[in-house]
Structure 1
């Protein structure tokens, strides 16, 4: 567990301090592998078998390498392999960089392009759509950061690659040529992997944000779905994030009123959508810190 914590911190540091390393996060080989396997399997292959073959073989290779390096030479090769795999599976784009690009865009056209990068995979979010930007930040955090992080903490490099490849299999460049059943299998697998991630993110958000607002939104979302079949939906995280950001917006408005009454200069008005987006990003950073603190507590408790 201590090695896991050090690997996470080191991978985060390298990802921000050595920007060229992020250019190595390329998954074209996986798209080509999916295309090759699809030609061999044909459209009639069972979805479970196709998923097991296309996803299982790369994971088998990583799992065997992870097992072979475990405990060798004081654990140093295994540790280096873990850091490399986590650094590779993180992202692939830096979430904070994409949020900063939206915030600092010089004009509306540039801002819309930056929002497209933030939302990802062709999702359309308008520049004045504050709830949409909040959802884009939290969805990006789940897919780029926390999904990889949770499964890395549970399964090591195997888990990090499992999540990343499952996510890549649902995107347009891969899912576009997969048969319906095969693409649906990837979406279902990703939903299963995402569900515990979103639950833990919501729990951390309640602790680092407004507990009452997050809990009320979480309960309201589940109450609205009462009677519907369980489908691993993560919409409760978007509802909780929006409630927490709205609470922060109300606090800021109240503070501005107090500043004006006290004769202080009022801050320059910024678009509400950008304020909500930046608030969401600040909450995401707090969630990440909370996760690392919990991991450090496990280390201190002796789970090594």
Structure 2
């Protein structure tokens, strides 16, 4: 757990303080080329072009990382394993900085520039929407993809888990994923849905604890969160409900304080308040996860 906590702190710090380094390191062109090479080697019908064919692309890099992980376990008081874990988590995190992408949307009034900035929050080829509800869902989808999915599977499986999540996301939704055979891509999306389900459940639980519990719980239950269906749509629904309730509470507090008249409140509200509040909520959820990890570390030291 201490390794995980240290790796998360370092990954976050480097991502914010050394963004050029993050951009330079987090390059996945090799994986796209690897998938294209496999596709060229197996042009006819066969395992690669079936639903489980994505395993051919995932297993070699994951096996290599797994062997390194096993080889470094316990060596030199665990220091090489810590460094390796930090390196893999930093590589798999992101790859883009979510704060930077959200600030780019909020920081411009030009409709064309805003639409182009918002497109970075949607998978390649999907329609972009600038409505408040859509932006809240996009923030939490990206938070799951860029932060929480990598972090959860790093907690469960170590470095190989972080890389598994990142490569599965690239195969399912990456810029070049449309080049994969249809059944192969469908298999990648199915794998990603399996990896996402526990992540979305724990994100929603943390959201309920740091936000409006009643609103989050109701939205979670009404949108299939209480079932085992591999659909993480309940996460976006819970986030929208939480953001709506928080914005409503802010408006009520300002109105009751007498500082702002109800009519002026709407005019003076910050641009895209849902996006701002969704980003704040995502950070609070991440801090809750880190706090839980820290508690496990302290409990381990005490025992």
Please report how far the alpha carbon of residue 249 of structure 1 lies from its aligned counterpart in structure 2 after TM superposition: 1.5
Mapped partners of 2:18, 2:119: distance in 1:
25
Q: TM-score, normalization: structure 1?
A: 0.92
Please report how far the alpha carbon of residue 174 of structure 1 lies from its aligned counterpart in structure 2 after TM superposition: 3.0
Please report how far the alpha carbon of residue 175 of structure 1 lies from its aligned counterpart in structure 2 after TM superposition: 2.2
Mapped partners of 1:182, 1:264: distance in 2:
54
- Kept in 2, the 8 Å contact 1:72–1:78? The answer is yes
For this pair of structures, how many residues does the alignment match? 299
- Kept in 1, the 8 Å contact 2:255–2:261? The answer is no
Matches within 5 A, 1:113-124: 113-124=116-127
Which residue of 122, 126, 130 maps to 2:129? 126
**Structure 1 residues without counterparts, runs of 5 or longer:** none
Please report how far the alpha carbon of residue 42 of structure 1 lies from its aligned counterpart in structure 2 after TM superposition: 2.6
SS where residue 176 of structure 2 aligns?
Answer: helix
Mapped partners of 2:260, 2:171: distance in 1:
55
- Kept in 1, the 8 Å contact 2:255–2:262? The answer is no
After superposition, give the CA deviation of every residue in 1:117-137 in whole Å (9 maximum; x if it has no partner): 12242332333x110000000
Q: TM-score, normalization: structure 2?
A: 0.92
Please report how far the alpha carbon of residue 39 of structure 1 lies from its aligned counterpart in structure 2 after TM superposition: 1.4
Query: Aligned Cα RMSD in Å?
Result: 2.3
Mapped partners of 1:166, 1:85: distance in 2:
15
Matches within 5 A, 1:1-304: 1-23=1-23, 24-46=25-47, 47=50, 50-127=53-130, 129-222=131-224, 231-260=229-258, 269=267, 274-302=272-300
**Structure 2 residues without counterparts, runs of 5 or longer:** none
- Kept in 2, the 8 Å contact 1:43–1:179? The answer is no
Mapped partners of 1:284, 1:274: distance in 2:
16
**Cα pair distance change 1:265/1:126, threshold 3 Å:** closer
- Kept in 1, the 8 Å contact 2:52–2:184? The answer is no
Please report how far the alpha carbon of residue 154 of structure 1 lies from its aligned counterpart in structure 2 after TM superposition: 1.0
The 4+ residue runs of structure 1 with deviation greater than 6 A are 261-265
